[in-house]
Amino acid sequence: VIKIGDSVIPYHPDFKFYLTSKLPNPHYAPEQSVKLTILNFTVTMEGLEDQLLGITVAKERPDLDELKNSLVVSGAKMASQLKEIESTILKLLSESEGNILDDESLINTLSQSKVTSNEINAKAEEAA
């Protein structure tokens, strides 16, 4: 399905949707980049090699291409989780009154965020 505004529209599998941009180097979120084929018409030799390598890997070893795509998506999710944790901690710190060491919810959140952060960093190292 394609979501345009508030409408969700079903489409035929053979349907192709093309977008153009006047931006010299548009940036898309990793979740979107995995689902798109981006053509950059300002080609350098290095950029062309990267594009051709990506196409070749997708044709020759689709399992590796799928693994790369899943790593990109999971990396984006992990970065989002870390941002969420940071926001929660900052919110609790700003709302805390008196001695922050007496705030049980803040201490519990900090402990849980440390565990989650360590897990995310371990997964990121494993993916690299």
Q: How much is the pLDDT for 51?
A: 86
pTM for the predicted model, two decimal places: 0.52
Instruction: Give the pLDDT confidence score for residue 63 in this predicted structure.
Output: 92
Task: Give the residue among 85, 83, 103 at the shortest CA–CA distance from 95.
Answer: 103
Per-residue pLDDT of the chain (128 residues; tens, 9 = 90+): 777 788 888 888 888 878 777 777 777 888 777 777 777 677 788 888 988 998 999 999 999 888 888 888 888 888 888 888 888 888 888 888 888 888 888 888 888 888 888 888 887 777 66
The DSSP annotation for 16-70 comes to ------SSSS----HHHHHH-----SS--HHHHHHHHHHHHHHHH-HHHHHHHHH
